[in-house]
Structure 1
Amino acid sequence: MTAARDSEHNDRHEIHQVVLRYCRGVDRLDLGLVRSAYHAEGIDHHTGFDGTADEYVDWLAGALQRFSGTMHIVGNHIAELHGDYAVSETYGTAVHWGDPGDDPRRNFTSGFRYVDLMTRRQSRWAISERWAVREWTRSDAGRLLAKEGKGPSGRRDGTDPLYLATARASAGPS
Structure 2
Amino acid sequence: MTGTRESARTQPGSSALDELLDKQAIYEVVMRYCRGIDRLDLDLVRGAYHPDGIDHHTGFDGTVDEFIAWVRPKLESLSGTMHHIGNHLVELYGDVAISESYSTATHWGGGDGAADFTSGARYIDLMERRDGRWAIAERWAVREWTRSDAGRMIPPEGAGPRGRRDGTDPLVELRSRLAAR
- Scaled to the shorter chain, the TM-score interval is over 0.9
CA distance in 1, matches of 2:178, 2:103: 29
Q: Distance in 1 between matches of 2:58 and 2:162?
A: 29
55, 59, 80: which one aligns with 2:70? 59
- Aligned-residue offset at 1:171: 2.2
Which of residues 92, 96, 108 in structure 2 aligns to 1:97?
Answer: 108
Structure 1, unaligned stretches of length 5 or more? none
Separation in 2 of the partners of 1:136 and 1:68? 22
Q: Residues 3 and 80 from structure 1, CA distance in 2 versus in 1: closer, same or farther, beyond 3 angstroms? A: closer
Instruction: Please say if 1:150 is aligned against 2:159.
Output: yes
Q: Deviations over 1:70-108 (max 9, x none)?
A: 0001100011000000000000100000143x523x100
Q: What percentage of aligned pairs have identical amino acids?
A: 61
How far apart, in 1, do the equivalents of 2:161 and 2:135 lie? 32
Partner amino acid for 1:142?
Answer: G
Cα distance in structure 1, aligned partners of 2:91 and 2:135: 14
Q: Which residue type is aligned with residue 103 of structure 2?
A: G
* 1:79 alignment partner in structure 2: 90
Task: Provide runs of 4+ in structure 1 moved above 4 Å.
Answer: none
1:130 alignment counterpart: 139
Question: Residue in 1 aligned with 2:5?
Answer: none
Structure 2 residue ranges without an equivalent (≥5): 1-12
1:3 Cα deviation (Å)? 6.8
Matches within 5 A, 1:1-174: 4-100=15-111, 103-104=113-114, 106-172=115-181
Equivalences, count: 169
| TM-score between the two structures when normalised by the length of structure 2 | 0.90
C-alpha displacement of 1:6: 0.8
